[in-house]
Amino acid sequence: GAEMRKLHREAATQLLHQLYDRNARREFCPLDTWLQKGFKMDAFGIHSTTEDSQTLVVLREFPHVIPLDERCRIFKRLIAQDQAAQTFPTTYVKIRRDHIVQDAFTKLGVYREQLKGVVKVNFVNESGLDESGIDMGGLYKEFLTAFIEQAFSPEYGLFKYNNSKELYPNPASGSQVSNHLDLFSFLGRMLGKAMFDGIQMDLPFCGFFVSKLLGKHNFIDELPSLDPDLHKNLMFVKNYQGDVSDLCLDFSVSADEMGGSGLHELVPGGKNLDVSNANRIQYIHLMADYRLNKSIKAQCEAFLRGFQDVVSVEWIRFFNPTELQILISGERKGDFDVEDLKRHTEYSGGYSASDSVCRKFWKVVSEMDPHQKSLLLKFVTSCPRAPLLGFANLQPPFVIHKVRANRSLMDTFTRKEEKRLPSASTCMNLLKLPEYLHTSTLREKLLYAISSNTGFELS
């Protein structure tokens, strides 16, 4: 009867999800296989994004039938509705440049949902003096970028890198930072705040950690993203032709290997239980479960608790782990559509799109390879990737600002070339471009500046 149909539907849904997740990790069929053919967003009543609307039901149960761009638009619309409903007062904070993480936690750590409101920042320099400047959004973006860069850095002790320089919570964070779980919650809120405000962050996370944000339990096939060597060793045990007890393994793991201390038993009395041919499959799964789930359970739960103070977890579940990573830090490929950036670029200081210097600039950019393009974006915006739905979504817009030439009258007559390098104010996504006379000089100076990242200046 009805009960049986419900069970069948739930089992089929679960199987479909597992197939889709597996395909997202290791593609065995093209991504458009999953899309609803002839999909029309308007037919979905997309403007009614209330809790029980048909759209949200589909997004909750079968998000992959809707194209990624559409899901992103829905996500942004839900955020915009939430922003419009906010009545929190503006929060003003003073932040010392040399204590960014500490001050941010002290001043903003008490806030939960209130972080959805506007935050305005005033920096205090190393000498203890207030820096001049009114925060029109640029100082806040500069603060948020610097905070996230420092707090998520492995040097701080809360996160670690895997072999591919992707971040995951440090299992031994508690021995390095005293109030580590409060800080994990705060970091979750600050990542939520960046997404809420539409600011991309250069945060490459491990696939298994992004899965955790989506409320998924990780299994052994996620292990290569965290510890490829352990995965290889476990596969060796699984396929070992001889007697596994010859390998002298038991059901315990040294927490020292993960930066902790002591011994963790995978089952009660595990250090006295040898791994044999009969129990090796159980050992492999318990070992992967410990590494991927149990050893960082408290850290992940604290992070997620903080995150959902600002962004509804239900909304991010519209995406698979790969897509959510793109939502956090932009398109994976460093390459981007130069014409799209050009269409959404603004000009200031006396430049316009038709200026010869700007035309030279776009010629140089169109000839860049993907790596150089991502360096240019990192140089100007502090994030090396393009926004998911294109540069119309870059906050604030990309700006090319004219820097007056330092030429004497004599230099002008002899057409002497400008010596200065381009520089950038990443807080405003502003490129300060001197008036170069020749395309070759512009190319040389721009490539030098973005490759050595010398042009960063605080304005």
Chosen domain end from 279, 308, 329: 329
Same domain, 354 and 446: yes
Query: Has residue 459 been placed in a domain?
Result: no
DSSP per-residue codes, 145-177: HHHHHHHTSGGGSSEEE-TTS-EEE-TTHHHH-
pLDDT of the residue at 434 = 93
pLDDT of the residue at 16 = 79
365 sits in which H/E element? helix 356-366
197-to-83, 213, 340 alpha-carbon distances in Å: 9, 19, 22
pLDDT of the residue at 41 = 58
Query: Has residue 458 been placed in a domain?
Result: no
Same domain, 411 and 288: no
How far apart CA 247 and CA 370 sit, in angstroms, is: 47
Helix (H, G, I), strand (E, B) or coil at 308: helix
Same domain, 178 and 124: yes
pLDDT of the residue at 456 = 43
Contact between 283 and 249 (Cβ < 8 Å):
yes
One pLDDT digit (tens) per residue for the chain, 459 residues: 888 888 888 888 778 777 877 777 677 777 777 777 666 655 554 555 555 566 677 777 778 888 888 888 889 999 999 999 988 999 999 999 889 999 999 999 999 999 999 999 988 877 777 777 666 667 888 899 899 999 999 999 999 999 889 999 999 998 888 899 999 999 999 999 999 998 888 899 999 999 999 988 888 988 998 999 999 999 999 999 999 999 999 999 987 655 556 788 999 999 999 999 999 999 999 999 999 999 999 999 999 999 999 999 999 999 988 899 989 988 776 678 999 999 999 999 999 999 999 999 999 999 999 999 989 998 998 888 888 888 998 888 999 999 876 655 555 555 566 788 999 988 889 999 999 999 999 999 999 999 886 444 433
Catalytic residue among 72, 206, 358, 427: 427
Contact between 145 and 196 (Cβ < 8 Å):
no
Same domain, 98 and 149: yes
CATH number at residue 241: 3.30.2160.10
CATH number at residue 157: 3.90.1750.10
Chosen domain end from 275, 307, 329: 329
> Exposure pattern of 412-442 as b/e (b: 16+ CB <10 Å)?
eeeeebbebbbbbbbbbbbbbbbbbbebeeb
Query: Has residue 64 been placed in a domain?
Result: yes
Sequence-ordered list of residues with C-beta below 8 angstroms from that of 53, at least 6 positions apart, any chain = 45
Closest CA to 419 of 401, 432, 434: 434
Same domain, 149 and 225: no
Same domain, 115 and 199: yes
The range of the structural domain enclosing residue 203 comes to: 91-215+297-329
Chosen domain end from 58, 84, 110: 84
Sequence-ordered list of residues with C-beta below 8 angstroms from that of 396, at least 6 positions apart, any chain = 137, 138, 141, 428, 429
Q: Show the beta-strand stretches assigned E in 288-340.
A: none
Q: Which amino acid is at 109?
A: G
How far apart CA 223 and CA 38 sit, in angstroms, is: 37
Number of domains in the chain: 4
Burial bucket for residue 275 (CB in 10 Å: 0-12, 13-18, 19+): buried
pTM: 0.82
Q: Is 248 a catalytic residue?
A: no
3-state percent breakdown (helix, strand, coil) of the chain, nearest 5: 55, 10, 35
pLDDT of the residue at 457 = 43
Give 264's strand partners. Answer: 253
Same domain, 320 and 422: no
